[in-house]
Every structure is written in C-alpha cells, then in structure tokens.
C-alpha cells in the first residue's frame, strides 16, 4: 500500500483561479490536486487533499494524519499562517512532518505576511513558485 500524504489547504484557497490571479495564478485547487495525484502515482504515494475555511478542521486533519500514519502533511494554511498559534502548537505536537507551502512568496508581500507561526514549527517551507510549490513540497515529502 502506498504511503499517504495529506495536502491541507486553509481559508480562501477554494477560490483559487478566481482570487487575485496576478498573485496566486490561474490554477484552481482541483488543477493542483490533479498535478499532485499524477506525480504521487509516479512516486508510489497517495494524496488526501482537503480544504477548509475553518482553523479547527486543519488541526483535526493533522491529528488524523498522524493517527493514520501519514508520511507527511503539506500545509498551505493561507492567512492562518500568520495568525494561528493553534496550528503552530498542533504541528509541534504531532510526529508527522509538516511542510509549509505557499503559492506566492510571503516575504515579497505585505509586512504582516512575513511572519509565519506555521513556518516556525514546520519541517520546511516552499513558497513563491505557484502550483509548482506543491509539487516541490511533494518531492521533498517523498524523500523524508
């Protein structure tokens, strides 16, 4: 059975493709899921991709990832990246490695986006490459 990678997406990422395409690109979350599933098959991995606008769902899903023995979690926490101590504490409390993912480069944007509670707890961060950020994170997760 293939190792599973959870791909968790936070608030407003359900609007990808429509929301500020000049920043986030024109790919939808379904487009990104398709890219990940194709590459995951080549790497003998399985993807469990989810999105929620609710912080607690992301926490619950990371707990679930650990309980199911997931190889890793790819987490694009959206705006919760900069505000959520709950996500930070969750990442610190589970053994499953978490890789922070961002479509845009938060360091090249507004000042408040340059601080990441998620990044302080994550194994690593991949940002600024659009949909490719997710593929790069999957490659990193495959090698953990």
Judge whether residue 122 has pLDDT over 80.
yes
Which of 24, 80, 117, 134 is flagged as catalytic?
Answer: 24
102 is catalytic: yes
6 is catalytic: no
Residue 48: other Cβ atoms inside 10 A: 15
Global pTM?
Answer: 0.93
Average pLDDT over residues 92-99: 98
Average pLDDT over residues 120-144: 96
Judge whether residue 110 has pLDDT over 80.
no
Work out the mean pLDDT of the chain and round it to a whole number: 92
Domain total in the chain: 1
**Residue range(s) defining the domain that contains residue 30:** 3-142
Which of 6, 80, 88, 102 is flagged as catalytic?
Answer: 102
Interval 30-84: pLDDT, tens: 999 999 999 999 999 999 999 999 999 999 999 999 999 999 999 999 999 988 9
Query: Which CATH number goes with the domain that contains 45?
Result: 3.40.50.9100
């Amino acid at each position: 059975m293939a190792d599973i990678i959870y791909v968790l997406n936070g608030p407003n990422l359900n609007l990808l493709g429509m929301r500020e395409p000049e920043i986030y690109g024109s790919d939808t979350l379904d487009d990104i899921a398709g890219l990940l599933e194709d590459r995951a098959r080549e790497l003998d991995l399985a993807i469990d991709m989810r999105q929620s606008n609710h912080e607690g769902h992301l926490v619950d899903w990371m707990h679930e990832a650990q309980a199911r023995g997931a190889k890793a979690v790819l987490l694009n926490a959206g705006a919760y990246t900069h505000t959520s101590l709950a996500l930070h504490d969750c990442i610190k409390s589970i053994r499953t490695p978490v890789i922070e993912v961002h479509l845009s480069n938060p360091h090249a944007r507004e000042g408040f986006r340059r601080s990441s509670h998620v990044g302080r707890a994550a194994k690593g961060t991949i940002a600024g490459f659009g949909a490719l950020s997710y593929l790069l994170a999957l490659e990193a997760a495959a090698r953990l």
